[in-house]
Structure 1
Amino acid sequence: MEDKGNHELAAGRGKHEYFDIVGELPLELVIHVVEYLDGADIVRSQRVSKRWRAIFSCDRITERVLSRALDALDMESTNVTTTDAIKYIRWLHNLQTARPVKKVFLPWPDGSVEISNSIVYHSRRLCYIIPGDSENKVAMLDLETGKRSTWTYTADEYLDFVLLSDRYLVMGVERGVIEAWNIQTSERLALEAFCSYNFITVIKDKVLFIPTPIERSPLQVWVWDLRTDRLQNICTFTYPVRLDTIHLDADDNVLVTFEIDWVEHPPLVQQTKWSLSGGELLDRKTFQLSPANHRVHEHDTRGRNIRWNATHSHKEVTGMCFKDRNTSMILSYNYATDRLSVRWIACAESIKHNEVPGRCISLTSDISYRWAHLHKGIAIHNAATGVATLHLYQLDKREIRACKLLDPHVRKEPGRVGSWTTCFDSPASLRPFGDREVFGLASDDGVQLWFFNPDFVPDLPFAEPFLAMQESG
């Protein structure tokens, strides 16, 4: 196919006496150079001159840059044309630099709200807890429609976790009971099988969990299919096996587990695939994981590290900040290519996270935001570049209580709800959440929402325009 940009490559030639090395290069070499540039570099290059704009806007370059931007955003290329390239490039660049298209402040419409680990967000829906004297409520706000829904549980029940998928709201209450509510029909399912859980997540209509093993008992992986209300033990591992990352593909009904021997160098990985239909073993293979000139000690992967998991379409991300609080390791599994990789992120001295192990939110498979309490900002972890940078947080003028809690001279108390709540989580009293479209920080005053998707900037009925507090940031 002929590049429409090639007809304009002569534009501007001869008008200047300086030597334009890029303009004189063959297009094939320019395309090779583009491989080393990110989306922001491409946008800036288009502004240099008419000739550069013609070169960096030609179809072949645009297609490559668009493909890279979509992959970094964990999006499919279906129904996306090259005319949309600049939009997706800027979207990705805004995520990398914490520059949203729009910021709003959403005061809590229901008064007091629990902001520990009961704040969850998924697919344009925000869930939070409204405590009461006789009963508590789980409220869900649909950012797309502005509609709110509520579910009730008794006040004497301890809420261990809240999870959200496209179709279900899943809550863990005391005594190990799991409740699942269908968002569309409000149908309720309940499961009482185990007392506590090492790991639990919900993907579409399947709840994946690993019960806490007793002493040296085997490690079991279970899946609760919410469509059929069927509980099934998919696989069992003998002590002392520990799973370092796990991926559930609800479309293919396949579970992939990874056991990594960190004593070996390079680490030895055993990957196993299981069928969700009958727990059948589909495939097992062993290979070495390239740690990219880093030596990982087994004790680094255990103990009290900052650890987070996230599923982005067919990609699974497991992140870990090591005890030195200066290095992060990202395990990334791509189900489509069946490839496990490890990447490293180095934190600058100014944003070492040895002060507070704040919660980290994976917005894409490459970009994670972590609340850096002492620096009153967002640490942006970029696995693609291997660098973490700091973006100072600007308080809204209505975040009065959050401003006081960020004062290092004010004594903070631990939170009340959730297994993640500790004296280390509560000092900031800011709970991050989000995805590639929306990022938010929740406080006792309300929620500050950042919108990154240029095609999703809703006018929420309860939201107010962002008004910066002068003394913050």
Structure 2
Amino acid sequence: MCDIIGSLPLELLDQIVKYLDLEDIVRSQRVSKRWRAILSCDTIIRPLLRETLTFLGLDLEGVSTDVALADAMSYFQWRHNLQYARPIKKIFLPWPASFTSLPAKIQCRSRRLCCNMPKGGRAGMLNLETGEKSTWALSGKLTQIVDFLKLSDRYLVTGSLGLWGLHDMAAYDLHTKQKICQRIPPVGFLEAIVEDKVVFIASAGSQSRPLHVWDLSLNHMQKIGYFSNLVLYHVAATEKILVAFEINWEKRPPEMQQTKWKTTTGQQVAKGTFHLPELADHHNDGFKWRFDRCRTFGHKTVNHIFLPTDRYDTVRLEYDYAVGQLSAQRIRSVDPLYKGSLTICLAPNVICFWTWRSDHIAIYNATTGTVNLPAIQMRRGLSSWIRNKLQRRDGPRRFWDVFGDREVLGLADESGIELWFFSPRFVPDPQVLKRLKQNMAHI
């Protein structure tokens, strides 16, 4: 058989390859040695790798395009698996039989799985790389309940809920095991961890609400202004700057106000207003809108505004601190399944929509504007009290929490946790998987 494509000049092949997407290029490399050699040259691989690292947000962490071909192919497969919701491996970890209630919060970041313990002021953690377990106490009083839990690449922050908000806080440095404690006044709910800065935000019911930033390097809590209709904030930890965006729905079109604050003193240093075309046809006629939690990737922060339209639209906001620009992208949905859904940003351009009303999630690719609906089949590994509870409840069994990052997506229901692994650079081997199951049973 004559290989017409393989016989073309490289200059012409470069122009043809530009019309192929990542999946086509990876598949075409399997045709023949000639095709693999052509599609593996630097003029094709390097631009594609740069685009892939940006898609995964790894460019924000300093990952270079100067890598071997095998490494580049692993990044391509990682991106392909994530954007099409096709995990390399799925593992299921049933809840321990000793659990008398389900954890209130679960986190999975940087290859660590963490949840609060049903009894006592403790949090249990599993290292997904080694399978080892560890326990982290909130304070000396084990009668306290861990109501809030956040996990970042370096810190684990837990808190107990008092009458009006957070009171007892504990932050652990996962590298040095150092514990930092704060007994703080009611400042709101634990919102995010950005490097060594912990952000608290007041109840959404407040008309005008402040932000508080806990600087773990100084063990100092700072109040930052008062905000109405806050839709996005970005913390530049190194520069000790917080940038906030509020929206005024009374204006037509809605007006966005940007302010900049010092996290060390709470002083406002800049202010400005502008309009977003994506919100031009919306105004406040008594409708309810809400926004999800911000997620920061390096110098970029992503968030979402949910609009109560007939199509249940969402507006994706992205702020790039490096260039000082806020951009918006309209996500139009015609499926009422995702009305009132929540989102998790697995990567800067990958969004997971989920709703507790059904066993469905949706993976949205912001670069192409496409949505994939993966199948979910949670397995039953139930303790006796959960099994009795399920038998008494009418209707289908539903999962109640979704969490994770660009490497691992976690789904939790009454039976346990299912973990989806997307990156070929990180998949637990059978020995690690065995330790994970053993330690999960005794966490």
Bucket of the pairwise TM-score, normalised by the shorter protein:
0.7 to 0.9
Provide the TM-score with structure 1 as the length reference.
0.77
1:345 aligns with one of 297, 306, 331: 331
1:228-251 CA deviation, whole Å, 9 max, x = no partner?
2112223345xxx32210011212
Pairing partner for 1:147 from 118, 132, 136: 132
Q: Which amino acid aligns with 2:213?
A: V
CA distance in 2, matches of 1:404, 1:370: 28
Q: Residue in 2 aligned with 1:385?
A: 368
1:90 aligned to 2:77?
yes
| Residue 314 of structure 1 pairs with residue 305 of structure 2 | no
Unaligned runs of 5+ in 2: 439-443
Instruction: Identify the residue that residue 235 of structure 1 maps to in structure 2.
Output: 225
Distance 1:214 1:352 in 2: 26
Q: 1:63-82, aligned counterparts within 5 Å?
A: 63-76=46-59, 77-80=62-65, 81=67
Supply the AA of the counterpart residue of 1:201.
Answer: A
1:194 and 2:186 are equivalent in the alignment: yes
AA in 2 matched with 1:187: K
Distance 2:320 2:33 in 1: 39
State the alpha-carbon separation in 1 of the partners of residues 323 and 377 from structure 2.
40
- 1:219 aligned onto 2:204: no
Q: Which has the higher contact order (CA 8 A, sep 6+)?
A: 2
The alpha carbon displacement at 1:325 in A equals 6.1
The equivalent of 1:102 in structure 2 is 89
- CA displacement, residues 378-427 of structure 1 (integer Å, 9 cap, x when unaligned): 21122222232211102235369999899999437xxxxxxxxxxxxx97
Q: Distance in 2 between matches of 1:71 and 1:190?
A: 37
Distance in 1, Cα, partners of 2:135 & 2:168? 17
Does residue 435 of structure 1 match 2:401?
no
* AA of the residue aligned to 1:219: R
SS at 1:228 equivalent:
coil
Partner of 1:251: 238
Structure 2 residue corresponding to 1:444, chosen from 414, 417, 430: 414
Residue identity opposite 1:439 in structure 2 = L
Task: Report if the CA contact (8 A) 1:348-1:389 is conserved.
Answer: no
Secondary structure of 1:65's counterpart equals helix
Partner of 1:395: 378
> How far did residue 213 of structure 1 move?
8.7
Q: Match of 1:339, as an amino acid?
A: Q
Work out whether residues 196 and 217 of structure 2, in 8 Å CA contact, stay in contact via their aligned partners in 1.
Answer: yes
Deviation at 1:140, TM superposition (A): 1.6
Instruction: Give yes or no for contact 2:116–2:146 (8 Å, CA) kept in 1.
Output: no
Match of 2:27 among 44, 63, 76: 44
For the pair 1:58 / 2:41, whether they are aligned, the reply is yes
Partners of 2:248 and 2:255 within 8 A in 1: yes
Deviating more after overlay: 107-116 vs 329-338: 107-116
Specify the SS of the correspondent of 1:392. Answer: coil
Q: How do 1:204-215 and structure 2 match up within 5 A? A: 204-212=195-203
Quick check: 1:368–1:382 contact (8 Å CA) kept in 2?
yes
Secondary structure of the residue aligned to 1:98 is coil
Q: 1:244 to 1:30 in 2, by over 3 A?
A: same
Q: Which residue of 2 aligns with 1:419?
A: none
Q: Matched residue pairs, number?
A: 423
- Say whether residues 1:261 and 2:248 are aligned partners: yes
Q: Give the Cα–Cα distance (whole angstroms) in 1 for the partners of residues 356 and 212 of structure 2.
A: 36
* Aligned equivalents of 1:405, 1:42: Cα separation in 2: 51
Q: Could you give the per-residue CA deviations for residues 305-343 of structure 1, whole angstroms, max 9, x where no partner exists?
A: 573432222221112343346322211112223221111
Contact 1:402–1:445 (8 Å) recurs in 2: no
Judging changes above 3 Å, is the alpha-carbon distance between structure 1 residues 111 and 361 closer, same or farther for their aligned structure 2 residues? farther
The more displaced of 116-125 and 447-456 is 116-125
Identical positions, percent: 35
Residue 277 of structure 1 corresponds to 264
More moved, 95-104 vs 41-50 = 41-50
Give the 3-state SS of the residue equivalent to 1:391 in structure 2: coil
Which of 273, 276, 285 pairs up with 1:286? 273
C-alpha separation in 2, matches of 1:404 and 1:307: 33
Number of the residue aligned with 2:151: 164
Say if 2:129 is the partner of 1:137.
Answer: no
TM-score, normalised to structure 2's length? 0.81
Asked if the contact 2:97/2:383 (under 8 Å) is kept, the reply is no
Q: 1:279 to 1:195 in 2, by over 3 A?
A: closer
Structure 1 residues 181 and 25 mapped into 2: Cα distance closer, same or farther (>3 Å)?
closer
